[in-house]
Structure 1
Amino acid sequence: MYMLPVERERNNNNATSDTKKKLSDYLKMRQTSSSFCRSSSSKLSNNYRRSFDLPSDHEDAASESSEYGVGGAMLPIFLNDLRRNSGSDLVEVTLELDNDSVVVCSVNTPTTTKPTGNGIDDDVERNLWRSLSAGSRIRRKLGWLRSGSSRSSSTSSWVIDDQERAIAARDARKMHAELQRTTSSAQRALKGLRFISKNRGVSDAADVSWRYVEARFHSLAKDGLLAREDFGECIGMVDSKEFALGIFDALARWRRQKIAKITKDELHHFWLQLSDHSFDARLQIFFDMADSNEDGRITREEVQELIMLSASANKLSKLKEQAEEYASLIMEELDPENLGYIELWQLETLLLQRDTYMNYSRPLSTASVGWSQNLSTYRPINVFRKLRCRFQCLILENWQRAWILVMWVMAIALLFSWKFDQYRNMAAFHVMGNCLAVAKGAAETLKFNMALILLPVCRNTLTWLRSTRARSFVPFDDNINFHKMIACAIAIGIILHAGNHLACDFPRIVNASPEKFAYIATDFRNDKQPTYKELLAGTEGVTGISMVVLMSIAFILATSHFRRNLVRLPAPFNRLTGFNAFWYTHHLLGLVYLLLLVHGAFLYLVHKWYQKTTWMYLTVPLLLYIAERIIRTRRSEFYSVKILKVSVLPGNVFSLIMSKPQGFKYKSGQYIFLQCPTISPFEWHPFSITSAPGDNYLSVHIRTVGDWTQELKRVFTEVNDSACVIGRAQFCQLGHIDHRGQPRLLVDGPYGAPAQDYRNYDVLLLVGLGIGATPFISVLRDLLNNTRAEEQMDLNTEASRSDDTTNSCTSSNLTPGSSSTTGGKKKSQRATSAHFYWVTREPGSFEWFKGVMDEVADMDHKGQIELHNYLTSVYEEGDARSTLITMVQALNHAKHGVDILSGTRVRTHFARPNWKEVFTKIASKHPYATVGVFYCGMPVLAKELKQLSHVLSHKTSTRFEFHKEYF
């Protein structure tokens, strides 16, 4: 419906025909306009009812249209029409637009009069109208009808209500947003709205990807039709079927269809729309997913539904519960006029500002340092230099391991050669030949390795050696790996020794002629040639076979597949796998050492005591290991602890906060062993310490992955359970547990670990996977405590200097030894910056160390620590399934300063980190620095981090040294 000014002296019939003609001429002139309705979702037939003043000539129309910037679907409106047609009536015209045809349905003369004037001058009137877009001016005139009285040229009268003001403000924002849009911003926003995952394993080319979709269509379709429920699986959204259904419905609505099944041609059409690289096309699909009623507007309820859909696709149950709150947050941001809906351009504006809101917060209170790549740090390398650099890298990174392994292999080779040559010159060699020499050479290496294998598990000794200069040339971090290598050498030695005896030496003794047996007859009882059975039944045979059986059991159950319960056996054999089986069977080796001493004391061919060297090899290592076990028992009784707090956390994790025993000293990154006699008086299990050395309590976080940890959780949570808050400010609230009936907990340690060497580096890169973050939490807290202590020392020093200046006469009489210790030299902390990357699958994991993260964000005023949380269960940033979550995350942090996923001030990133980019940025930020890379978690990622450390150490001026945590 359009309101047209018509001269009063004309009769109604002439006015009607004139109006129709002028409308037809005008609309033909504007026929090439972009659209009278939204191009991507316009219907075949629409009725528009708009109100405007048609100008008397086209020249004025063109000038005024240019002035107000009206174009496209909006018909031109002119302010001076009110003056030019002040003596005219308005007529009401109803039009119907059908494709390119315009039909005038009716022309009516209204009878309502306009309001009286209120005295607004021309300048004010002009400025107000210029601030409004064509749409708002059209809507304003719907309520204005002229009367028969003349209107003054210097005044205007109308009433502007609140809704009209809101519409005007929104239209002004829309015009500004359209001016701000650029091609580059659209390209950046395109990366944040992707419906096809990059992890599909196929090329991004639509034709290549379509072949995979087509193949799945043929496997899922029935009678050539694909069901709506199978659409998600067909396009690769197997884990996001609800979200895929939303896409299906949006695409169907675009085609004006409401269907439950589609053909392959329709699927191909859908696929082309999803794979369209146009930002506008993808934005329209995303908008249509929310616009379920097809009115071109999104209400709060529709936003809430889309949030719930995204939360379900990303397995964020907590976010799903708070969908209503976050929907209101989005409406508050995008609908400041409180109209109750948002339009396409508002969603577009938010996505175009992706770079701004994606960088909404840094983990620290200080501004982040730029990550621009410092190209000067890269060294130009040719092919030969690259090979030389790789060789140098191999030497620099492995020289400690190399010299240890070389010395070990040389010792084994020398012992074997020495014993082999010794037996080649004995009389028994004429009977048994090289079989005897090989068996005895292998036996000598067995004695050496059986002694050496105990040293890597003497943890107290290794912890002490870590604090000496020996750490600079001995790789103590590889103690468990070295222990395993020695075990493999022992297995080879057993095969050579026992195999040659049983398969070669014994048969030759039994079948030797009397002349040959005479060479060794004195070595057997009564000089009688024994049978094979008698050889096996002798002391040497029984002890040897027993050791082989026991060591085979211990070796097999210690392999990773059995120890980690990866081998599935039927009951009751399933008890033969897991940590318990490994722990108990390893203690069978104590019996093996006793048998070994006996076996070495009863030898067929050796009779002098000083030639029986088994005890010589084993005495010192056995005594050292026994002393370690005694120290463990005594120390656990001396270090009595009280449980101050037990907290059950998400993700099958619970925390224990204990009193700190008197005299218990440890370093950040170290670990302790825990034993609960209520569960088992023999089992000790290692756990990283999550508290800092400066704290007056001990804390550990334990994940229930086995029967012992599950039972430990049960016995302690039956007594107490509370929310987990670890922080100095809350410690006074922790000591209110009734200790009567509390199970005993024994502590043994601390023991050294790779992370304790963090002070040796300028910059730290700490990477934890899941519960593997525990050793680094202690490091972060220690860095905070050190920073806090340094700040306090600086304050005390300034106060002391101020007092010295005020009381100079008194201070001049002080002796040098009486000066305050606070004015002394500060203890330097080498680590100046730390980058912590925590990668986890479950959002509930962030509750484990929420208090620590908040404390870091609040108290790290120097910007020493950067925290980066990564949630792998959420689709990567840029995927359409996580787009809305990213928006909510940014808006909520801007308003409340809290991340919606972690509940802290630390931002949560989605999917896995790009480790190459992480290393490159650190190298750019810290040129010529030594970066300690510490990793704790599954071994899958260790290989990638180690390789990047090698590569970036030679491509940049920054040196990366990789360390992996072992238990």
Structure 2
Amino acid sequence: MGDRFINEGVKWILLVVWFLANILAWVVSYITYANSDEFYYMRHLMGASLPVARASATCLNLNSMMILLPVCRNIISFFRGSCETNNYYRRNLRRQLDKNITFHKVVAYLIVIFTIMHVVSHCFNFQHLYDAASGESGELASVLSLRTTANGAKLNPIRVISKNSLGLGLVEKALVLLPGWTGAVLSLVLILMFSSATEFIRRSYFETFWFTHHLFVLYFAMILAHGALGVVSSQSNVAQHDPKVCYELYAAWPSEQCPNPEFVNGSASSWKWLLFPMVCYVFERIFRLYRAWQTIIITKVVQHPSNVIELQMKKQGFKMLPGQYIFLLCPSISRIQWHPFTLTSAPEEDYLSIHVRIVGDWTMKLKESVGGDQEGEQPVARLPKVAIDGPFGTASIDIFEYEVGICVGAGIGVTPFASILKSISERILTPDSDLKLKKVYFFWICRDTNAFEWFTELLTSLETRLAESGRSEFLEYHIYLTRGWSHRQAKNIYLQEEQEVDAITGLRQKTNYGRPKWDDTFKKIAQDNPGKNAGVFFCGPKSLSSVLHKCCNRHASMKADGCRFFYNKENF
């Protein structure tokens, strides 16, 4: 059995800490409003749902404070780069930064949960306030409804002038108030943002997702305004007027024992929670705009087989690390659609490049705009203007921090490893290189034979260079073809089985047919690398990611002579 703590420990610790922070914030706020004498009369007016509403509001502030930070990509990249990986704990902490979007989603779920609790509680609160203003909650509630705060506002903001039907009157009175209509807008915005963030909407109707998600500006404006009225007032003279004693003597107010209770409006506190993340996000957007305005030149467009195009570009002052990614914008196609692409060039090259597989409307339009559907090379002057945001760090850049690297790409998910393999080939052949990486296992799983074509040139070049330098054992690669071969191809493969090179790829190592047996693979790697740290890097579908993640947990060992597998998945 493996040691799950290697991959799961830090993640679960951070999640538990965050959930405990929410629970603690909720409980402390609930106890304050449920037991404090300052809110005794407000509890009498609003009922037992008041502490629930206020505790939920505290957690909404807490999670709204965090929702923006995980999507500040430049800030994440900065902390990722400043977090050294020379020991187990820092390496694991750095790996958690790659799960920023996952944490963003967790926070979003919590916001939805606490919003439901807050809204339902306030429905009861408004009902109780309405009943008190209507005289249906008892004489004390009616007396309290007429009390004013220090600035002259009514303790009960709801006024009942005519006897309308109870339900309609309640809705009317609630929505007229600032907390009522801002809360309604908040709820509507949250529903739109949350429902349009599903994977189906994001992939099929990106503009819908983009526009609705940018309603977060309205969300934060409303949440700042929501508590500005200070409806939940507190009693300021508890020492002179003990509510636990005086509430039964309300008919004799004021008296020597019970002077009139004095109240002050609650103060808006959301801005204290939200100021820092909003400032961070504003600077993040300004920095993105600054980089997007910088000149980018497409220097070359290469048409590869299997409907893949390569864009080679230049940008002054651009610096990158192997495995990083950028966001690409082509204004002639859309001024709002930024698409992530892994850089396939190496830092040692004098240009930056991406490989784009044509699998959708946007990529098809990109191919047409760069002349990928025409014969011959297009003049640079005719190529469209583009903007890039990045580069940003991902999990794969950490491969150089491990003694053993295991790279797994599925289909087009092989692109992050193009840059890495190029950089490895340069570093390993440099005489004074201090490369920590001693062994690389590369696995590529493809559905059909056409998917091999553009990447095999790189593998062939790397294979040749390693053989010439006497380092052939450094790279061990395995290519798996899961389907897509015809009867004729199968016969040709069989006839060429004894050849030195593979019948499909032309590489020295032969293509495997079917799917890898991952348990056997990890078991063998662990046996061959005792006492070493092995970084597993994957880019591809979730189903395979789950299999690899479980294998890492199952075969990892914290023993001195055991191989420790650290799982890393590409996230954009």
TM-score (norm 1): 0.50
Give the aligned partner of residue 114 of structure 2: 493
Post-superposition shift, 1:875? 7.0
SS of aligned partner of 2:390 = strand
Q: 1:699 to 1:488 in 2, by over 3 A?
A: same
Alignment of 1:9-408 (within 5 A): 393-408=3-18
Q: Distance in 1 between matches of 2:383 and 2:494?
A: 48
1:685 paired residue number: 339
- Pick aligned residue for 2:562 from 954, 957, 963: 957
* Conserved? CA contact 1:843–1:901, under 8 Å: yes
Which residue number in structure 2 is paired with residue 759 of structure 1?
400
Instruction: Find the aligned partners of 1:904 and 1:401 in 2 and give their Cα distance.
Output: 40
Matched, 1:595 2:209: no
Q: Distance in 1 between matches of 2:372 and 2:83?
A: 47
Q: Which aligned pairs between 1:467-506 and structure 2 lie closer than 5 A?
A: 467-469=81-83, 471-472=90-91, 473-474=93-94, 475-502=96-123, 504-506=124-126
Counterpart of 1:646 (choices 301, 318, 321) is: 301
Question: Could you tell me whether the CA contact under 8 Å between 1:672 and 1:748 is conserved in 2?
Answer: yes
Corresponding residue for 2:278?
622
AA at the equivalent of 1:491: V
**Offset at 1:737?**
4.9
Instruction: Look up the match of 1:926.
Output: 529
SS of 2:4's equivalent in the other structure is helix
Match for 1:479: what amino acid? N
Contact 1:606-1:612 at 8 Å conserved across structures = no
Unaligned runs of 5+ in 1: 1-385, 566-577, 723-735, 791-825
Deviations 1:113-160 (A, max 9, x none): xxxxxxxxxxxxxxxxxxxxxxxxxxxxxxxxxxxxxxxxxxxxxxxx
The percent of aligned pairs where both chains have the same amino acid is 34
CA gap of 1:652–1:446, structure 2 versus 1, over 3 A, is farther
Give the whole-Å Cα distance in 2 for the aligned partners of 1:418 and 1:721.
69
DSSP 3-state at the match of 1:448: helix
1:786 aligns with 2:427: yes
Aligned to 1:669: 323
Q: Distance in 2 between matches of 1:610 and 1:490?
A: 23
1:890 counterpart residue number: 497
Q: Name the aligned partner's letter for residue 451 of structure 1.
A: M
Match in the other structure for 2:365: 711
- Deviation of the 1:906 alpha carbon: 4.9
User: How many angstroms does 1:914 deviate by?
Assistant: 1.6
Q: Is the 8 A contact 1:648 1:721 kept in 2?
A: no
Per the alignment, residue 179 of structure 2 pairs with: 540
Partner of 2:51: 437
- Alignment check: 8 A CA contact 1:838 1:870 kept: yes
Q: Which amino acid aligns with 1:964?
A: K
CA deviation map 1:606-653 (0-9, x unaligned): 597993210111111011111111101101222x22112223434443
The answer to which of 679-688 and 530-539 deviates more is 530-539
In 1: Cα distance, 2:71 partner to 2:217 partner: 14
The answer to whether the aligner puts 1:850 opposite 2:464 as a matched pair is no
Question: What residue in structure 2 maps to residue 947 of structure 1?
Answer: 550
Contact 2:442 2:476 in 1 (8 A): yes
Shift of 1:698: 0.8
3-state DSSP of counterpart to 1:913: coil
Residue 562 of structure 1 and its aligned partner are, at CA, apart by 3.3
1:584 corresponds, among 185, 197, 211, to 211
Partners of 1:711 and 1:622 in 2: CA distance: 35
**Deviation larger for 951-960 or 554-563:** 951-960
Aligned-residue offset at 1:436? 1.2
**Residue identity in the other structure for 2:387:** L
Q: Provide, for residues 218-241 of structure 1, a one-character-per-residue CA deviation record: whole Å limited to 9, x for no partner.
A: xxxxxxxxxxxxxxxxxxxxxxxx
Q: Name the amino acid aligned to 1:692.
A: A
Query: What is the aligned length?
Result: 507
Secondary structure of the residue aligned to 2:384 is coil
Question: Would you say the 8 A contact 1:840–1:872 is kept in 2?
Answer: yes
Q: Equivalent residue for 2:505? A: 902
For residue 962 of structure 1, what is the amino acid of its counterpart?
Y
Q: Which residue of 2 aligns with 1:90?
A: none
Change (3 A) 1:900 1:497: same
Distance apart, 1:683 and its partner CA: 1.8
- What amino acid is aligned across from residue 703 of structure 1 in structure 2? R
Correspondence for 2:388: 747
Taking a change above 3 Å as real, the CA distance of residues 611 and 856 of structure 1, as seen in their structure-2 partners, is same
* Amino acid paired to 2:107: I
Partner of 1:776: 417
Out of 504, 521, 541, the position equivalent to 1:938 is: 541
AA at the equivalent of 2:101: I
Q: Distance in 1 between matches of 2:233 and 2:290?
A: 41
Provide the rounded CA distance (Å) in 1 between the counterparts of 2:359 and 2:121.
Answer: 43
Give me the whole-angstrom Cα distance separating, in 1, the residues matched to 2:356 and 2:26.
Answer: 46
Is 1:870 aligned to 2:525, yes or no? no
Q: Contact 2:158 / 2:173 at 8 angstroms: preserved in 1?
A: no
Larger Rg: 1
- Structure 2 letter corresponding to 1:401: K
Aligned to 1:789, the other structure's residue is in SS state coil
Distance 2:421 2:127 in 1: 65
Q: 1:703 to 1:889 in 2, by over 3 A?
A: same
Name the SS of the counterpart of 1:945 in structure 2. Answer: helix
Q: Distance in 1 between matches of 2:318 and 2:187?
A: 42
| 1:520–1:699 Cα change, 3 Å | farther
What displacement does 1:963 show? 1.0
What amino acid is aligned across from residue 871 of structure 1 in structure 2? L
For 2:493, the aligned partner's letter is T
Map Cα deviations across residues 307-364 of structure 1 (whole Å, 9 max, x no partner). Answer: xxxxxxxxxxxxxxxxxxxxxxxxxxxxxxxxxxxxxxxxxxxxxxxxxxxxxxxxxx
Aligned to 1:835: 441
What secondary structure sits across from 2:382 in the alignment?
coil
- Going from structure 1 to structure 2, the CA distance change for 1:606 and 1:906 (only over 3 Å counts) comes to farther
Asked if 1 retains the 8 angstrom alpha-carbon contact of 2:342 and 2:415, the reply is yes
CA distance in 2, matches of 1:394, 1:917: 18
1:570-616 CA-to-partner distances (Å, cap 9, x unmatched) read xxxxxxxx333222221121221112112232331259799321011
Specify the alignment match of 2:127 in structure 1.
507
Aligned AA (1:748): D
| Alignment partner, residue 215 of structure 1 | none
Contact residue 231 and residue 265 of structure 2 kept, 8 A: no
Counterpart code for 1:902:
T
Q: Could you tell me which residue of structure 2 aligns to residue 529 of structure 1?
A: 159
Letter in 2 for 1:657: Q
> Could you say which residue in structure 1 is the equivalent of 2:199?
560
Query: In the alignment, what sits opposite 1:138?
Result: none
SS in 2 for 1:830: coil
Which residue type is aligned with residue 482 of structure 2? T
Q: Is the Cα contact below 8 Å between 2:481 and 2:512 reproduced in 1? A: yes
User: Per the alignment, in what secondary structure is the counterpart of residue 674 of structure 1?
Assistant: strand
Contact residue 646 and residue 720 of structure 1 kept, 8 A: no
Provide the C-alpha distance between the structure 1 equivalents of 2:233 and 2:506, rounded to a whole number of angstroms: 73
CA distance in 1, matches of 2:353, 2:288: 20
Q: 1:919 to 1:632 in 2, by over 3 A?
A: same
Q: For the structure 1 residues 888 and 911, does the alpha-carbon distance in structure 2 shift closer, same or farther, using more than 3 Å as the test?
A: same
Structure 2: distance between partners of 1:526 and 1:843: 73
Residue 277 of structure 2 aligns with an amino acid whose one-letter code is P
Amino acid at match of 1:963: N
Cα deviation, residue 882, structure 1: 7.4
Output the CA distance in 2 between the equivalents of 1:708 and 1:650.
19
Task: Identify if the C-alpha distance between structure 1 residues 525 and 889 changes in structure 2 by more than 3 Å, giving closer, same or farther.
Answer: farther
Q: Which has the higher contact order (CA 8 A, sep 6+)?
A: 2
Q: TM-score, normalised by structure 2?
A: 0.83
**Counterpart secondary structure, 2:24:** helix
